[in-house]
Structure 1
Amino acid sequence: MKKLLCLGIFLGTLHPAIAQDTTAKLDSLVSAYHKLHRFNGTVLVAQQGKILLDKAYGYQRTADKTLNEPGTIFQLGSVTKQFTATVILKLEEQKKLSLQDKLSKYFPDYPKGDSITIENLLTHTSGIYNYTNNREFMQNEVTIPASREKIMGLFKDKPLNFSPGTKWDYSNSGYSMLGYIIEKAAGKPYEQVMRAYIFGPLHMDHTGFDFKNLKDSKKSTGYFNISDTSSTPAPSVDSTISYAAGAMYSTTADLYKWHQAAQQYKIISKADWERAYTPFMNHYGYGWESDSIAGKRKVSHGGGIHGYVTTIVRVPEDDVCIVVLDNAADKEVGKIGQSLLSILYKQPYTLPYERIAIQVPEATLKQYEGEYNLFPNFNIVMTVKNGMLIGQPTGQAESPLFAEKEDFFFLKIVNAQIRFTRNDNREITGLILYQNDREMPGKKIK
């Protein structure tokens, strides 16, 4: 009996040790990205009701050197969509609308509105033009409050990209329309409906919509980039612009409450949570992307808005929740979330490392000068200035490239690399851009 007791004590101490080891790996991964200026924000990782990592990295505000903390508030971007979708399902449960309702029921004069259903809007299969593809508007007008008519005017009269229900194309416009439909069906402003159905019942006390005018000491500033020597603040997008497609702000703790509510089938029925997770087309359900890990369903969604990149990843079967919130527009937040998940499931992942630049004579750099075409209407012009190779993509600012080895360069401002290609005569004929786990070849045209 004593031997069994001793064995029980030994096994009882094993689990905390395993948890500590997992936490150390999770923290090491995020810290590696942070040290390379590829992550600045907060992270929460939980499994089976236990929080394994709840930590902040980097600056909440660089101007006064205020550091992020676990309670820092971030804009979420498109993570908002799962909340909008949940309220739509709640209203259907209350028989205030149907997913098969036509858009024309709520907006009778909407072109071809009698062919677009609420479900098409939820699943990005409506064919409605995505207004955030309007570069001029996104660069110049996102800080200015806009009326429903102004936003709808950005896409309403544009032709559909395809016949509704036949293809998939991500559309923020569709989710903005869902917000307008919620207001009509519920008879209240969208934000009030969200607070009544979700934020209030779940005590998500640090979650809301008007981030631009939020007065809170824990409110973060969004940046286009943060380095050792500088930072570039991003404009604050007005909530009327991103609206039901991306206007929410929140914290890791509040989003964990959201996860717990989903685990307990709160807000909507278990059957409707299942509907939300079920992919309709292109792995997308109702506000959730659906995939798998270790043979189990993984649901997730990322978000991006001026100065912020976010992600939430969940494995409902194992009560796993990962929240990554970044206020330096770091493009690898999704990869960080996936790598954290890989640690939990003991799958392969890689730690980022610092690339070391070598000196290359200016005469050697001259051979890379020219213009390279990667996509229609997208080129990169390479020039040499002050002994540095400079790349300028179409419509973007110049960026210095640093040589790592012959014909292979990397950027510091983003995680991207370029390899120049040659023909049999050793002449430069093109390049390959490596970014976001993609290889994009380009042909030298000048």
Structure 2
Amino acid sequence: MLAQTTLDAAAISRIGRTAYEQNRAPGFSLAVWYKGKVVFANGYGYSDVAAKTPVMADTRFPIGSITKQFTAVSIMLLAERGRILLDDKLNRFLPEMPNADKITLRMLLNQTSGLHNYPLTSEHSWPLEGQIDSKSIFAILKTDRPDFPPGERWEYSNTNYAALAEVVAKSSGLSFDQFVQQNIFTPLLMTTSGVGYQAQKEIATPYEGTAGNFAPVPVQLSLDLFYGAGNIVSSANDLIRWDAALIGGRLLNPAAMRELWTAGRLANGQLVNYAMGFVPASIAGHRELWHNGYTPLAGGYCLNAIFPDDQLAVVVLSNSPDAVFQGMPEQMVHEIIAMIDPHVSTSQQVASMEGTDEDSRTRTLARTIFEEISAGRVDRSILSPEMDADLTPARLAQSARQMSALGRLIQMTLRQKTTLGNGSSVYYVYLAFFTGGVRQILITITNDGRVNSFQVVP
């Protein structure tokens, strides 16, 4: 695979400008690191619309679940130092948690523990403002029933990473924020980064609403609530330093890095599409490790994408709601990959239809087909004659078992759109989050709006 040795900063700037002109975020920052250099770092729009404060590469944003990367590396650092083992049981640190005698730290890292997700305000009266002690969080978490036995399934849960943050504190003798500051932020010169409520000052104003109609959130949630799972504030410049250190092996030894970026397994040996704070993926053959983040009522939608084999990292941080901006950072990443690899088709088609009626119809069809196949029954009027014939009762029963195991479809991000043959159908690739894992949805739609093929693949 032939790759460029340099990236054109002006071309990257145009990618950011085009994204901003779609009016899907009050402001965002974009930074790109390639082969040892920061080739682009800038901001678009405003961190505070009323004050006309521009977004810069050093503008501080709550990064949401990208925090999980820092929690995972903290655990790996302690494992390297012999303070903990990844196969230690949780009851060594938090004996009061459900199934603590069966859950390992590795299960927490890979999100296979079965611990119930939080914070759902419909279930508990969570503390929401000011400084929040982790003890008050675990006083509630220990009362939640597990969703499944440890190691049996994959399910995304903030509770896993809150527990890991507490493991960091109990095994290091430092608070979680002190450990991250001393062992990651300070050595990497991440001067704009911080942890929790104490770091929530002078951040980009979080907004809610729809494209072109944004308003500041009325009351900001305390980041302390998202302990270890989403409580870090950072900037595009700082996250690029973080990515460069990971790619360059300056934080962990090679064996630990392999574990960090390798997909986990269930107790039966089945792979899950989640590593340790990173989602392993691929764009046109380019290995990718990524995680997105969104902190409701505190921050906007963010993305950190690393391509270690290409020596490439892309960071996008915004103050826009996830439902509005989600998909746009992924689109920019795809376009930047296309800049370094001439074999990657440009994704202008994807950019032009993201969020359109066509995209909405396709998502609805994909969700409908997934839900119906999972239930073992399909409205065959929405299938093409070819797919109708191919989906025999035996095939449907087999697919139902496979798809129902993935659980509920949470969200989808368009990755590719291709017109097939003589234009009689269109092939779409979506990155899909399920409660049971991260997969790709491949769906082909005929010109008369019927589904001609449908697959859910790793």
Q: Structures share a fold, TM > 0.5?
A: yes
The yes-or-no answer on 1:56 pairing with 2:43 is: yes
- 1:91 matched to which residue of 2? 78
Selected match of 1:316 from 308, 314, 320: 308
Task: Find 2:340's aligned residue among 334, 339, 344.
Answer: 344
- Corresponding residue number in structure 1 for 2:272: 282
Distance 1:230 1:279 in 2: 38
Mapped pair 1:150 → 2:161: no
TM-score, with length taken from structure 1 = 0.71
Alignment of 1:10-409 (within 5 A): 19-20=7-8, 23-39=9-25, 40-132=27-119, 134-136=120-122, 141-210=127-196, 214-216=200-202, 219-225=203-209, 228=212, 230-233=214-217, 235-280=219-264, 281-306=271-296, 307-329=299-321, 330-332=325-327, 333-346=329-342, 347-348=344-345, 349-350=347-348, 352-353=351-352
Aligned residue for 2:456?
A: none
Residue by residue over 1:307-366, the C-alpha shift from the partner in whole angstroms, topping out at 9 and shown as x without a partner, is: 3111111111221010000111222233433443344334231263499999xxxxxxxx
Runs of 4 or more consecutive aligned structure 1 residues displaced over 6 Å after TM superposition: 137-140, 354-358, 434-439
Q: Give per-residue Cα distances to partners, 1:255-304, cap 9 Å, x unaligned.
A: 11111211221222121011101111422111111122343421111111
Distance 1:140 1:104 in 2: 24
Residues 165-190 of structure 1, C-alpha deviations (whole Å, 9 max, x = no match): 12110010010000111111001111
Give yes or no for contact 2:279–2:291 (8 Å, CA) kept in 1: yes
Q: Distance in 2 between matches of 1:36 and 1:293?
A: 24
Distance 1:215 1:226 in 2: 25
Identity %: 26
Q: Are residues 227 and 173 of structure 1, via their aligned partners in 2, closer, same or farther at CA, if it must alter by over 3 Å? A: same
1:65 CA drift (Å)? 1.4
Instruction: Give SS of 1:113's match.
Output: coil
CA distance in 2, matches of 1:107, 1:235: 32
> In the TM superposition, what whole-angstrom CA distance separates every residue of 1:377-419 from its partner, at most 9, and x where no partner exists?
xxxxxxxxxxxxxxxxxxxxxxxxxxxxxxxxxxxxxx99xxx
**What is the CA distance between 1:232 and its match in structure 2?**
3.4
The one-letter code sitting in structure 1 at the alignment partner of 2:310 is D
Q: Which piece of structure 1 moves more, 297-306 or 206-215?
A: 206-215
Residue 143 to residue 265, structure 1, CA distance change in 2 (3 Å): same
Counterpart amino acid of residue 29 in structure 1: I
What per-residue deviation string (whole Å, max 9, x for no partner) do you get for residues 70-127 of structure 1?
2111110011111111110111111111111111111223232111001110000000
Deviations 1:219-246 (A, max 9, x none): 3111114755652336433132012111
Instruction: Tell me: CA distance 1:334–1:108, structure 2 relative to 1, closer, same or farther (3 Å).
Output: same
Q: Which moved more, 1:222-231 or 1:179-188?
A: 222-231
**Length-normalised TM-score, structure 2:** 0.69
Q: Which has the larger radius of gyration?
A: 1
Alpha-carbon distance in structure 2 between the residues aligned to 1:212 and 1:28: 36
Secondary structure, aligned partner of 1:31 = helix
**Amino acid across the alignment from 2:138:** M
**Shift in Å at residue 147 of structure 1?**
3.0
Segments of 5+ residues of structure 1 without an aligned counterpart are 1-14, 359-371, 377-414, 417-433, 442-446
Q: Which amino acid aligns with 1:243?
A: Y
Aligned-residue RMSD, C-alpha? 3.4
**Is the Cα contact below 8 Å between 2:7 and 2:339 reproduced in 1?**
no
Contact 1:78-1:245 at 8 Å conserved across structures = yes
Q: 1:138 to 1:56 in 2, by over 3 A?
A: farther
> Are 2:89 and 2:103, in contact at CA under 8 Å, matched by a contact in 1?
yes
Task: Give the AA of the match of 1:184.
Answer: K
Alignment-mate amino acid for residue 64 of structure 1:
A
> Offset of 1:140 from its aligned partner?
7.7
Query: Aligned equivalents of 1:229 and 1:314: distance in 2?
Result: 32
Structure 2 counterpart of 1:316, one-letter code: P
C-alpha deviation, 1:139, in angstroms: 10
Does the 8 Å CA contact 2:131/2:197 hold for their aligned counterparts? no
What runs of 5+ residues in structure 2 fail to find an aligned partner?
265-270, 358-367, 373-412, 415-429, 433-439, 444-448, 450-458
State the alpha-carbon separation in 2 of the partners of residues 98 and 315 from structure 1.
28
Q: Is the 8 A contact 1:62 1:231 kept in 2?
A: no
TM-superposition CA deviations, 1:194-231 (whole Å, max 9, x none): 11111111111111113565444xx3111114755652
Q: Distance in 1 between matches of 2:320 and 2:144?
A: 33
Output the amino acid matched with 1:85: A
Structure 2 distance, partners of 1:65, 1:233, is 17
Report the secondary structure of 1:59's partner residue: strand
C-alpha distance in 2, partners of 1:58/1:45?
18
Could you tell me whether the CA contact under 8 Å between 1:252 and 1:324 is conserved in 2?
A: yes
Flag the 1:354–1:61 CA change in 2: closer, same or farther, 3 A.
Answer: farther
Question: Counterpart of 1:85 in 2: which secondary structure?
Answer: helix
- The answer to whether the Cα contact below 8 Å between 1:226 and 1:232 also exists between their aligned partners in 2 is no
